[in-house]
């Protein structure tokens, strides 16, 4: 699958809440405000910390395309052929397997993908 562009509506509109795990919006909906701010900082943007999460997400989504990777190897290969990509891996906590914790890996850290308790991986490419 190729990189996909995601709109804020796909993440925040209640009618779109039933997207499958194979769609980037499923994973992006799990990001907290602090992760959206971190993504904007990685894109050399200056986010207004007082902005709402949908506004911050909209700014990031204008600059990024996403690919859901089913395996660690697929994420690693995608990262290798797309220099400067950011990887977000979603790790299950030891206490709650129903929700995953997003971990943003800097572009130079793509080789440090986790092995344990990983629910999903999302590669983010600047457009």
Q: Is 2 domain-assigned?
A: no
Cβ neighbours for 14, distance < 8 A, ≥ 6 positions apart = none
Q: Is 21 domain-assigned?
A: yes
How far the first Cα of the chain sits from its last, in Å, is: 16
Q: Residue 19 has which token pair?
A: 């997207």
Number of domains in the chain: 1
Q: Each residue's pLDDT tens digit in the chain (127 positions)?
A: 699 999 999 999 877 668 888 999 999 999 999 999 999 999 999 999 899 999 999 999 999 999 999 999 999 999 999 989 999 999 987 776 666 889 999 888 878 898 888 889 999 999 9
Distances (CA, A) of 112 to 4, 38, 106: 24, 18, 10
Give me the helices (H) in 1-127, please: 8-12, 24-28, 33-42, 53-61, 72-81
Structural domain boundaries, residue 120: 8-126
Give the whole-angstrom CA distance, residue 95 versus residue 4: 32
Q: Is 1 domain-assigned?
A: no
Q: Is 17 domain-assigned?
A: yes
Q: Is 68 domain-assigned?
A: yes
Q: Is 77 domain-assigned?
A: yes
Q: Is 82 domain-assigned?
A: yes
């Amino acid at each position: 699958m190729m990189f996909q562009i995601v709109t804020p509506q796909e993440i925040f509109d209640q009618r779109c809440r039933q997207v499958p795990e194979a769609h980037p919006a499923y994973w992006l909906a799990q990001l907290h405000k602090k992760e959206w701010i971190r993504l904007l900082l990685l894109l050399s943007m200056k986010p207004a910390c007082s902005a709402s999460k949908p506004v911050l997400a909209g700014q990031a989504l204008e600059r990024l395309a996403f690919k859901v990777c089913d395996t660690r190897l697929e994420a690693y290969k995608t990262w290798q052929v797309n220099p400067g990509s950011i990887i977000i891996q979603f790790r299950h906590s030891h206490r709650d397997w129903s929700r995953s914790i997003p971990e943003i890996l800097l572009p130079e850290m793509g080789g440090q993908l986790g092995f344990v308790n990983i629910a999903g991986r999302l590669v983010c490419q600047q457009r």
